[in-house]
Amino acid sequence: MRALPANLPLLRCPKRLFGPVAADPQAAPWTEMEGFPLHETASGDKPQQATTLKLGWNAEELRVLYWVEDNYVWATLTEPGALLYEEEVVEVFLDPVGDLQRYFEFEVNPLNAVLDLVLWREGGELQRDFQWCCDGLKTAARRTPEGWCAELAIPFKSLGAAPQGQWRANFYRIDRPKGVPRELSAWSPTGELDFHLPARFGVLEFTE
């Protein structure tokens, strides 16, 4: 891992035994695990509607849970590979190598539609491979009294990476409340209204 900016957040990701992917924040082991807030991505301030992130891993997969406060939950897209970021969605960006040149993106919306792709920069331009498919990816989404939840189980084998050491990563939410501008939230704020700034990816550290 190369030298990192001093203000990047660190998230220690513990090893746990998980049950089925159910997007249930009241299920074990989620109830015993630490939650991490998302921040408004440009300013770093507290967002209008909160999002809590929890992460863990086992030998096969990375597990990610989003617990979203939302007084107006909506989505219309259901087709695999649809451009979910045009509506309401939560997102996971992972760079297992840590060179900030190539990373994986996963999105889930309130209807449990999924978008997965690989991104890289070529000639200064961001390239996207929408044909890539994360084999074995499992997701769930459900409504809650406070808003909605989403859970992802991302197989390490499909990423060609092992759960060891430190990865670079970021975690996001796009909220589109009725009648007001969208709100973009991030675990590691980017300082801009843009998620695709790998230099601002935080550090994900796998622990036992």
Look at strands 138-143 and 147-155 and give their pairing: antiparallel
Q: Establish if 43 belongs to a structural domain.
A: no
DSSP structural state of residue 157:
H
Report the alpha-carbon distance of residue 39 to residue 18 in Å, rounded: 27
CATH number at residue 70: 2.60.40.1190
Q: Establish if 112 belongs to a structural domain.
A: yes
Q: Establish if 183 belongs to a structural domain.
A: yes
Q: Establish if 40 belongs to a structural domain.
A: no
Q: pLDDT (tens digit, 0 to 9) for every residue of the chain, 208 residues total?
A: 444 556 899 999 999 999 999 999 999 999 999 999 999 999 999 999 999 999 999 999 999 999 999 999 999 999 989 999 999 999 999 999 999 999 999 999 999 999 999 999 888 899 999 999 999 999 999 999 999 999 999 999 999 999 999 999 999 999 999 999 999 999 999 999 999 999 999 999 999 9
Q: Establish if 138 belongs to a structural domain.
A: yes
pTM: 0.96
pLDDT at 5: 57
Helix (H) or strand (E) holding 53, with range, is: strand 51-57
Q: Establish if 29 belongs to a structural domain.
A: no
**Cα 169-173-175 angle, rounded to 5 deg:** 165
pLDDT at 75: 97
pLDDT at 50: 98
pLDDT at 1: 44
Q: Establish if 100 belongs to a structural domain.
A: yes
Report the alpha-carbon distance of residue 129 to residue 115 in Å, rounded: 11
Instruction: Say if residue 155 is preceded by a cis peptide, omega within 30 of 0.
Output: no
Q: Which domain holds residue 166?
A: 55-207
Phi, psi of 192 (to 5 degrees): -145, 165
Three-state DSSP at 119 gives: strand
Number of domains, the chain: 1
φ/ψ bin of 98: left (φ > 0), alpha (ψ from -120 to 50), beta (otherwise): left
Q: Establish if 12 belongs to a structural domain.
A: no
pLDDT at 4: 52
